[in-house]
Amino acid sequence: MRTRLTVSAAAGALALLLSVPASASAAAQAGPGAPGIGDPYYPTAGNGGYDVSHYDIRLKYQPATDDLEGTTTILATAGQDLTRFNLDFVLKVNEVLVNGRPAGFAATGEHELEITPARVIPKGSPITVVVRYADRPGTVLRGGVSGWLRTPDGGIAANEPEGAAWWYPSNDHPTDKATFDVSVLVPDGTQVISNGTSTQSSRAGWTRYNYRQTKPQATYLATVAIGKFDIRTDTTPGGLPVITAYSRDLGDNAGAAQASVERTGELVDWLSGRFGPYPFGTVGGYVPNVPTGYALETQGQIFYSPAQFARGANTSVVVHELAHQWYGDSVSVRRWSDIWLNEGFARYSQWLWSEHENEGTAQELADYVYNLYPADNVFWTIKPGDPGPDQQFAGAVYDRGAVAVQALRNAVGDEKFFRILKGWPTERRYGNATVQDFQAYAERISGKPLAELFNTWLFTPSKPAAGSAGVAAPGTAKPSLTPRAAADAQPEPKSWKKIQETNTVHEHKG
Ligand code: TRP
Ligand code: ZN
């Protein structure tokens, strides 16, 4: 009885304890939105307290001086009674209006713009934020780096995971997707590239480019490129608009760049056969005059680097970035630790393309990766399923990540595997997901428990045993050789070097 009483008293106390914070927060709920959205890798990325539905970004840019003037209007909904909220932004702000009234603002932390509206915004009500700003984005550094790429003829925003803050204020996290209008005024003779469909108008020496993205888009997948471009428009046989653009200063790389990127329509059709219908209203890519060596899957309008075409055409990189339109852009990470859902599959799609081109099967590529790195190589210390913020784009996330996809294929068989590959982007279209969500989906479709396979290939910081899930199975190497000699003797798949040209090591500002 006594014990019983104690138990029920404890239960009562527990109920009270649980209800206290709830009712207390209901009473005193009005407060500031959190300065981060809660991503363990990037604690101050994104913000709490509101949800964005649309960005209207209106810019004027002077290529000669890097002077950027902007007015961004954000449509959002309050998720709590808000006394204050943050946007992620690094440029110099002149004025902020919230629901038509001047609001207080202050730059805090690495990239926070703290906004205090004139009155509390009630939970559930719409918020219109207007931010007016002017700066030279190439001169604004965080950790010694600018997220704005200055070029001889203009500037470019294309960065991951964080680059938006150098050209527009936002809730900078993939879980808060929105539609976008981007309008840029530039001097006649300069062109502008951004996401989606476009119109333009000219007046008194200035041209205005208006771009519109009507499908949900993560903030890091919005891009703008200003410079001297040749822009081409076309449509795929299926009627999808294709927009490609090339800097007029690509020099010796111009032919190889065009011979690769002009195959976008054909390659997007090929990928649609594997991943299901293309998720966006336009497709394309641009090759600016930049010294970088990487590409970025900016939504419907991919950023490439001329260096990727310096050794001739490279359709493999186009396949990689197009694959991201399904794996990364339409279905996006829930947390940045879920990056394998992007890079493991984009790399694997290059292996499928290699297989299709008779330049090495995915199995051969997986075996090759397995044998390339001995057990004591740092390669195997990286867990593709949780690589850590510093190793988010390490080679192992791509290559070991793709081996993990091949392991899944071997475990469930081709029929189930290709059903998973196509079903996942359809089921999760325009959403966010975790690695665990994907595992659950693959288990549902295949009817097989996959915890051990995922654990072995994605979450173990050491080299899995040869033969695990059919990777480097006995018999794939010549049996008469020692394992080491067999690895040495394994021929490099014909596609290997081109695949590795997708991502040359680069510095990134987190
Ligand atoms: N997601 C890019 C790819 O694999 C690679 C990448 C990571 C990147 N961080 C970046 C590209 C920053 C440009 C800028 O295709
Ligand atoms: Zn990628």
One pLDDT digit (tens) per residue for the chain, 510 residues: 333 333 444 444 444 444 444 444 444 479 999 999 999 999 999 999 999 999 999 999 999 999 999 999 999 999 999 999 999 999 999 999 999 999 999 999 999 999 999 999 999 999 999 999 999 999 999 999 999 999 999 999 999 999 999 999 999 999 999 999 999 999 999 999 999 999 999 999 999 999 999 999 999 999 999 999 999 999 998 899 999 999 999 999 999 999 999 999 999 999 999 999 999 999 999 999 999 999 999 999 999 999 999 999 999 999 999 999 999 999 999 999 999 999 999 999 999 999 999 999 999 999 999 999 999 999 999 999 999 999 999 999 999 999 999 999 999 999 999 999 999 999 999 999 999 999 999 999 999 999 999 999 999 999 999 999 999 987 665 445 555 555 566 789 999 999 998 876 443 333
- Give the pLDDT confidence score for residue 11 in this predicted structure: 42
What tokens appear for 127 in the block? 């918020």
For residues 394 and 373, give the distance between their C-alpha atoms in angstroms, rounded to a whole number: 14
Q: Are 295 and 305 in contact (CB under 8 A)?
A: yes
| Atom from ligand 1 closest to the CA of residue 393 | 7
Going from the Cα of 345 to the center of ligand 2, the distance in angstroms, rounded, reads 8
- Give the pLDDT confidence score for residue 9 in this predicted structure: 40
Going from the Cα of 82 to the center of ligand 2, the distance in angstroms, rounded, reads 37
Could you give the strand order of the β-sheet that contains 154-157, starting from the edge strand earlier in sequence? 148-151, 154-157, 224-227, 191-194
Ligand 1 site, residue 159, Cβ cutoff 6 A:
yes
Going from the Cα of 321 to the center of ligand 2, the distance in angstroms, rounded, reads 6
CATH of domain 332-507: 1.10.390.10
| φ, ψ for residue 387, nearest 5 deg | -75, -15
- Give the pLDDT confidence score for residue 504 in this predicted structure: 63
End-to-end CA distance of the chain: 59
- Exposure of 235 in the CB half-sphere (CA atoms within 13 A): 6
Going from the Cα of 343 to the center of ligand 2, the distance in angstroms, rounded, reads 5
Question: Does the predicted TM-score (pTM) go above 0.85?
Answer: yes
Domain limits, the chain: 332-507
Return the closest-CA partner of residue 49 out of 142, 117, 2, 136: 117
Amino acid letter for position 340 = W
Return the closest-CA partner of residue 355 out of 477, 501, 497, 495: 495
Q: Are 478 and 489 in contact (CB under 8 A)?
A: yes
For residues 47 and 178, give the distance between their C-alpha atoms in angstroms, rounded to a whole number: 15
Going from the Cα of 327 to the center of ligand 2, the distance in angstroms, rounded, reads 9
User: For the chain, give me the number of helices (H) and strands (E)?
Assistant: 12, 22
Ligand 1 site, residue 419, Cβ cutoff 6 A:
no
Ligand 1 site, residue 275, Cβ cutoff 6 A:
no
Choose one of 156, 292, 506 to mutate for the ligand 1 pocket test, by most ligand atoms within 8 angstroms of C-beta.
506
Q: Are 288 and 296 in contact (CB under 8 A)?
A: no
Beta bridge partners of 331: 327
Return the closest-CA partner of residue 403 out of 335, 466, 328, 487: 466
| Atom from ligand 1 closest to the CA of residue 324 | 15
Ligand 1 site, residue 501, Cβ cutoff 6 A:
no
Q: Are 99 and 165 in contact (CB under 8 A)?
A: no
Measured CA to CA in angstroms, residue 396 lies from 250, 339, 458 at distances of 31, 12, 10
Q: Which ligand has the shortest distance to the CA of 305?
A: 1
